[in-house]
Amino acid sequence: MAAHTNVAAATGTRGVSVPSQRGIGPYLLIGFVLLLGFSWVFANPPGYAPDEPAHYTKAVGVGRGELVGTPEPYPVGPGFGPLQLQWINKASRTFKIPPGLSPGGLACSIFSPTETAACIYEIETNGELIQFRTYVGTYEPFLYLPPGLAMNRTDNPVTATLVGRMVSGAIALGLLAAAAAVLVKRSVPGSGIGLVAAITPMVVFLGSALSPAGPELAAAICLTAVVLRLTRAGPVPRSIWFVAAGSGSVLALSRSLGPFLLVAILGVFVAAAGPRGLAQTVRNGGRWASLAGAVILLGVMANVAWGLRVQPQPSISLGSVLSLIGRSVRELPEVLRQGVGSFGWADVNMPSVAYLGWATMVGVLILTALAIGRPRDRAFLGMTILGCFVGSVAIAAAVIHQTHFPMYGRYALPLWVIVPLCAGEIVTRNHHRLPTALWRASLVGLPLVAAAVHATGWYVNARRYAVSEIGPVWFFGHSEWHPRAGWEPWFVMSILGLGCLCAYGVLAARAVDGPSAEQPASS
């Protein structure tokens, strides 16, 4: 107890005693994540998440025991330029695809905004075992295995994609739900406000796709939530270390940048609690902390071993990295915009007002944290923002652009979600410095804005594939492509999820003046 009080004191926090807030608050955020996320699984056509057919092929192959596949280059780039094709062919592999499961034809109307996804109905599948090529052949196989095992039990590519999405989504959305449970329990009203701002529509979209990107992103959010929970005053439940082990290992095993992201999140802990606070927390955690650390370390070792043995490495030099820094900085606004929501293969976007609304919400949260936080809080948040900026530019200049591909928002998003989480934690720990009316308005307003943007993203994506971008605004009843069981159940599910998000804000605001909203005791 004393050790955790010291950690809280080092970060300028105060203890919290709000027993009645352990009610439905976390369950509302969990409901929001699960209901909205699984509605995306079905409402987005199979193949219409970034590179989903390529991930599909890799997952089916890994599910059959082929971890690496057979090298086979693309003679002509599938939409790639000459320099991009050179890199792609270093990662190109073929995998055996059982009869009926060929993904050829998925994403058949991608980059054609005036066409619907109805062309999926015309897919012709393979009648025998075939070799199918993918440009993600050398990617880490670990998170392809669970969906791949399930996909090999299906008999057509549409069902296989949906089953794979559900398995991968169970990992990603489960980690987001765990983050909600970690941050909201035993805290002040509105303690999940940072999580609300961190879970962008893009986070939910990727979490519902067949791709390692969703679990990677959810694991980054969940592990950051664990770090922030560990810097609070009070004893640490054993379950926190289990969540740390799960999220840390998924992050380590997800993709090549997993170990880098782990170091970044560890840096958040050190910045918040200091080296002594970190050491004290680990000592207090005893064998459970050691077990969590060991599990994560094993994941890192597996990732590094795979990368050194299988993954191609770009040829880089200090000069080439330095020459790309300016470009990487200039494209950052677009990277951040895509991090809010850029669906399909980054070709389906929301109206500008939606991005402005999300940016305003996050901006207000950051400015509030800087205004009411203690000097150490402000320094901590400033270092976090600077670190995410430097890390994002470094990923672009030293990794992504070295392969001659553009920097997409989904590559940097596992870093940038750290900022609203930290800002939200500072605000909730210092909320008593805000006028009560303003705090209550914030707790209602921010989730309402978030829900409106989420609803916009879901609708824009659904309309694009149901009737195309030139189809009727109200596409129900006019849809050329429709999901399994029709639009109605997934539309209702999404509304229920967004209702949970709005209800969380309203109930948190009502609790501010209630007996559970005691002002934090001095640490």
- Check whether residue 42 and residue 170 sit in a common domain: yes
pLDDT at position 4 over 60: no
Among 514, 509, 515, smallest CA distance to 25 is for 509
Q: Is residue 57 part of a domain?
A: yes
Helix (H) or strand (E) holding 305: helix 258-309
Least confident span in 295-309, 310-324, 431-445, 492-506: 310-324
Domain final position from 146, 162, 178: 162
Evaluate if residue 12 carries a pLDDT over 60.
no
Q: Which residues contact 113 (CB under 8 A, 6 or more apart)?
A: 347, 464, 468, 469, 470
Rounded Cα distance, 28 and 326, in Å = 43
Distance separating alpha carbons of residues 189 and 428, to the nearest angstrom: 8
Residue-level pLDDT at 241: 95
CA 113 – CA 468 distance, rounded (Å): 6
Shared domain check, 138 and 44: no
Q: What is the pLDDT of residue 14?
A: 37
Q: Is position 440 within any domain?
A: yes
Predicted confidence at residue 523, as pLDDT, reads 31
- What's the pLDDT score for residue 512? 83
328 assigned to some structural domain: yes
Residues 292 and 195 in one domain: yes
What is the CA angle 250-254-257, rounded to 5?
115
> Are residues 167 and 157 part of one domain?
no
Query: Are 72 and 147 part of one and the same domain?
Result: yes
Tell me, yes or no, whether 353 lies in a domain.
yes
Same domain, 272 and 158: no
- Rg over alpha carbons for the chain, rounded to the nearest Å, is 23
* Same domain as 482, residue 450: yes
Domain span including residue 136: 53-162
* Predicted confidence band of residue 17 (pLDDT cuts 50, 70, 90): very low
Quick check: 2 pLDDT over 60? no
Tens digit of pLDDT for each residue in 316-359?
888 989 999 999 999 999 999 999 999 999 999 999 999 999 99
Per-residue pLDDT, 158: 96
Q: Of 202, 194, 147, 149, which is closest to residue 171 (Cα–Cα)?
A: 147
Q: What's the pLDDT at 99?
A: 95
Does 146 score more than 80 pLDDT?
Answer: yes
Regarding whether 33 and 175 lie in a shared domain, the answer is yes
Q: Note the pTM of the prediction, 2 decimals.
A: 0.92
Give per-residue pLDDT as tens, 263-290. Answer: 999 999 999 888 888 888 888 889 999 9
- In percent, the amount of the chain with pLDDT more than 90 equals 80
pLDDT for 75 beyond 90: no
pLDDT value at residue 520: 40
- Among the candidates 162, 181, 205, a domain finishes at 162
Instruction: State the Cα–Cα distance between residues 477 and 140, nearest whole angstrom.
Output: 42
For helices 352-372 and 418-429, what crossing angle results, to 10°? 40
Q: What average pLDDT score do residues 219-230 get?
A: 96
In-domain check, residue 522: no
The model's pLDDT over 162-209, given as tens digits with 9 standing for 90+, comes to 999 999 999 999 999 999 999 986 557 889 999 999 999 999 999 999
Q: Do 267 and 208 fall within a single domain?
A: yes
| Pair 216, 254 in one domain | yes
> How far apart (Å, rounded) are the C-alpha atoms in residues 410 and 338?
7
Residues in contact with 511: Cβ distance below 8 Å, sequence separation at least 6, in sequence order: 18, 20, 21, 189, 517
User: Does 518 reside within a domain?
Assistant: no
pLDDT above 90 for 407: yes
Mean pLDDT across 376-386: 96
Q: Looking at the domain assignment, is residue 523 inside a domain?
A: no
Is residue 519 pLDDT above 70, yes or no? no
Query: What's the DSSP call for residue 402?
Result: G
pLDDT at 515 > cutoff 70 = no
Looking at 152-257, list the stretches that DSSP marks H as alpha helix, in order from N- to C-terminal side.
157-184, 193-198, 201-207, 213-230, 238-254
Q: Evaluate whether residue 520 is within a structural domain.
A: no
Residues 453 and 346 in one domain: yes
User: 162, 197, 230: which is the final residue of a domain?
Assistant: 162
Instruction: Answer yes or no: do 140 and 176 share one domain.
Output: no
Instruction: Domain count for the chain, please give it.
Output: 2
Average pLDDT along the chain: 90
